[in-house]
A and B are shown apart, each in its own frame.
Chain A
Amino acid sequence: MDELEEIKLTFFQECDELLADLEAGLLKIDAGDAEPELVNAVFRAVHSVKGGAGAFGLEALVRFAHVFETLLENVRSGKIGLRSDLVQVLLRAADVLADHVAAAKLGGEGDIATTAAMVKELETWISGGPILPQSVSEPELPPNDDGIVFTPVTLTIPEVDDSPKEQVWTITFQPMDELYVKANEVGLLLREIERLGEVEVELLDDALPPFDNLEPETAHFAWKVRLKTEATEERIREVFEFVEGDCSTTIVRAASPPMTAEPDAGPDIAAIIAAAQAGLAEPPSSVEAQSPEELSSALDLIPSLPAVSAEVVPRDNALSRQAPARAGGEKANPATIRVDPERIDKLIDLVGELVINQAMLAQRVAGHGFAASSDVGRGLDELEQLTRDIQDSVMAIRAQPVKSVFQRMPRLVREIAGQTGKQVRLVTDGETTEVDKTVIERISEPITHMLRNAIDHGLETPGERIAAGKASEGTVRLAALHRGGRIVIEVGDDGKGIDRPRVRQIAISRGLIAADAQLTDEEVDNLIFLPGFSTAKTVSDISGRGVGMDVVRKSVQGLGGRISISSRPGVGSTFTLSLPLTLAVLDGMVIDVAGQTLVVPLSAIVESLRPAANDVKRVGVEGSVLAVRDAYVPLVDIGRVLGFQAEATNPAEGVVLLVDSEDGGRAALVADSIHGQRQVVIKSLESNYKQVPGIAAATILGDGRVALILDVDALVAMRKREPVRAHEPLIEAAE
């Protein structure tokens, strides 16, 4: 990749971080944190976005950031007080800035109308400040030297006359002490002048006191330079740009050329070669070729420098450009190292192999009759422990705090609040909770849906809340925590809670439950996860989008997760989402079915039982159900559904795994036997083959053989549709 493109990627990455800091900072200010550094940090974030955007010529982004920054600068300098209504504006401006960055990422620009409206609002605040330094009514690009952005371009020499004519200038300058204090140097100024043309330099040492009185840190000398050049006066003045005020300078055009002017021969080949050999050759794009004479005259100047100037390094060092300098520059953050994520993924794969190999070794050793208490057995135990520790450590490298996902939510909440006319305060907790990258990438969507649901259906309107004796502003709490080797995400609201009679009524009217069904409160609450269930009175723009909680539940289950809701009327509801910490390994139950070893994700299993013969009831010709306590659960013969055997296993002779299936109902999977629980490394079937109905993935067991991991939902669905029909439901289930 082009290095500049790479930096652009860095820039967008950094933008995401800066935007997150910006929002976090504003939210803290909104919450009443008056720490002055917060305003500085917020300012810096916008400032840095602007700086980087300028470098890449992202003009729309720069323009907007500039107006935003101007307002923040006024806030920072105390010209404008930070009122809470201003903070709301700043938060929305941050959203617009984020939109601009997102658009720029795709090579576009932010929405013009939104931007214009926001700019107008910001400007109102800028001009509404108590003191107004200048009108910023027309947002302009911040001035810069040449308006050229950081892209490889051919160099143009600025300020060169259209019809360059050589003229002779007399320049006198007398440095003051200040010039040296700022580390400027006369030698370098002379060199710069010399770059403009032919020079004659005269040192004026009249002011030099007798040696006894010499102050080593005082400037005593002055210089007079005759310069023959085509450059304009401005160009000459530019040389003194940095020392303006630190020396007295006069630049006068001489009446006639005093020097014996040679016709400019142009750079001859010999001179260029000589220069190149001296290590002085400039790159082809450089401003001018220097003749050897010029160079030597410049070198001659150096001994005449006063003792007070800093040590003068021979200038060929300064200009030497042959050696490719690989920046030793990655020192920026000594506390962390940056690693290509692919390397970590590779490492995780390798550790996965190690785990499998360790298990294979253990199995083989056991097969040779070594006792667990023998030296070999103990050594293997230690190896197993070590392997697990390595696996945990490696997984920890890839673990990320959920912060990156949580950070996106305040904006979402603001938007939904705006659309629904509700007042919402979002409280987050446990942002530092870590989870594997494979999971992080996929929790954002369910969280988004849960938040939408909480605000749209959970919270009341301000009016309703006040009538109910609550604060007009509702609270939504988003929290993450580790529990039992899983990550739990909770989305709670202090709204009205689930309207159970209404949910019941809808479920009956849609034929989801029988009119006389006896359901616990919990069971009623969880009816909202049934496919096709929606309590919205109108198809809401918010929770709508055609996605109900059934889809959320399905996608969560696809990740080996579970989702549930608990609710108290008038007090609020809480969604609880529990997910594995990684999608690289899985806790599974290893079972035998028709001579095949299979793995069932533990997350799907409610319990395992050995049913008595009279608990199994036949229904119709083929179907049968199992009586579990006071309910009948459909029996699913794994071997038959997968086509491994023609005749179903007698459940009373095998083992039954009670599982929760996607439609909220239970099913009883029949297997021949259970081997036990094991953590297995998940291997894709698709990478070399393709998706297989009823199978979620594969793994490699201790004996080195591949075992398939069941997709419980798909399996249950397949049984219902027996004989297996077309593909679509299976693809769906695997999504």
Chain B
Amino acid sequence: MNQQVNSAANDRRELTSFWSGEQEYCVDIMSVREIRGWSVATPLPQSPNYMKGVINLRGAVLPIMDLAERLELPPTQPSERSVIIVVQVGERLVGLLVDAVSDILSINPDQIQPTPDVGCDQAKAFVRGLITIEDRMVSEIAVERLLPDPESLAA
């Protein structure tokens, strides 16, 4: 019996959820390094539109990506209330521009459902799965797929 409790506890995952546009998303809390307010980014030439530029993160140069735009949704309008979620992807850090942080979710893995075919390639490519909590539906983002390939230069 003890074992059962343990394994259930071990398997539980914690996720940080946030709003972008009209939808709620989440990422594994282990990959979140920091959450900070929006500050104006220095634009990068020859870069995709979703790359908002770079900011100074305590001496390091942090690229900022508009999550909504990356998902080919209408771009986020940055405001003082906007939030940057700094996530770690491998060795790199990237800041995700979103509208607001909403919650910390603690879920069982079986609560995550595979992404249904919704006919939107970008959403399918970047969403790992769907989580239903009460009447909310939260999409888990596969952060490692968000960043452009470091080897390739901007098209």
Contact = CB atoms under 8 A, between A and B. Distances in A.
Interface string B34-45: 000000111111
Interface in B81-101: 91-94
B153 A730 contact: yes
A142 to B, nearest CB: 48
A698 B61 contact: yes
B26 interface: no
B43 A692 contact: no
B56 A705 contact: yes
Residue of A597, A693, A731 with most chain B CB atoms under a 10 A cut-off: A693
Interface in A641-693: 642-644, 683-693
B62 interface: yes
B62 A693 contact: no
Contact of B60 (A597, A688, A691): A688
21 contacts: A352-B59, A353-B58, A353-B59, A642-B45, A644-B43, A684-B61, A685-B54, A686-B150, A688-B62, A688-B63, A689-B61, A689-B94, A690-B153, A691-B153, A692-B46, A692-B153, A700-B59, A706-B41, A706-B55, A708-B42, A730-B153
Interface in A684-735: 684-695, 698, 700, 704-708, 724, 727, 730-731
Given A694-B46, A705-B40, A706-B61, 4 more contacts: A596-B43, A689-B147, A692-B47, A706-B53
A361 to B, nearest CB: 15
Contacts of B10: none
Q: Could you tell me the dominant secondary structure of chain B's interface residues?
A: loop
Given A353-B59, A683-B61, A688-B60, A724 B42 contact: no
A695 B61 contact: no
Nearest to B149: A690
B154 A692 contact: yes
Contacts of A708: 42, 44-45
Interface in A611-646: 642-644
B42 A688 contact: no
Interface in B118-155: 147-154
B61 A685 contact: yes
Nearest to B62: A688
A356 interface: yes
Given A688-B94, A708-B44, A693 B154 contact: yes
Interface in A94-137: none
A706 B41 CA distance: 8
A692 B152 contact: no
Interface in B23-82: 40-47, 53-56, 58-63
A345 interface: no
Interface of B: 40-47, 53-56, 58-63, 91-94, 147-154
Nearest to A704: B56
Closest 6 CB pairs of A and B: A642-B45, A727-B153, A689-B63, A706-B42, A690-B150, A353-B59
Contacts of B58: 353
A382 B56 CA distance: 26
Given A683-B60, A688-B63, A706 B45 contact: no
A351 to B, nearest CB: 11
B102 to A, nearest CB: 26
B56 A700 contact: yes
A692 B59 contact: no
Contacts of B45: 642-644, 692-695, 708
A299 to B, nearest CB: 56
Contacts of A349: 59
Residue of B41, B148, B154 with most chain A CB atoms under a 10 A cut-off: B154
Contacts of A684: 61
Contacts of B149: 690
A504 B147 CA distance: 50
Contact of B44 (A352, A695, A705, A730): A695
A727 B152 contact: yes
A694 B92 CA distance: 22
A727 B155 CA distance: 8
Nearest to B44: A692
Interface in A131-158: none
B93 A688 contact: yes
Nearest to B95: A688
A688 B59 contact: no
Nearest to A692: B44
A345 to B, nearest CB: 13
Nearest to A681: B59
Contacts of A730: 153
B59 A642 contact: no
B47 A596 contact: no
Contacts of A686: 150
